[in-house]
Amino acid sequence: MSEKGDGRDHNPTGFTMWMAGGGVKGGQVIGETDELGLRATEDRLHVHDLHATILWLMGLDHTKTDLPPPGPPRNGLP
């Protein structure tokens, strides 16, 4: 499956994440995709939840962490 019909492509609707160490519990499976692995069907999460989990494993509270906005630096321009 790909956007142009040939080759590989990114899949933002169902993906695999493998994590180890840093306090991650082993052997967990969270969520499920359809039979093609194309779309998440159960226990869907947003990437923000993944980021919050990684920050928590690093000992940071995502609600108190001030991260810069995405994109290139704006150098003080509006």
**Model confidence over 8-58: pLDDT tens digits?**
677 778 878 888 888 888 898 889 999 988 888 999 888 888 889 988 999
Q: What residues does each domain of the chain span?
A: 1-65
Residue type, 53: T
- Alpha helices (H) along the chain: 47-57
Say how many CA atoms lie within 13 Å of 27 toward its Cβ.
0
Is it the case that residue 78 has pLDDT exceeding 80?
Answer: no
pTM score, two decimals? Answer: 0.63
Under 8 Å between Cβ of 40 and 48: no
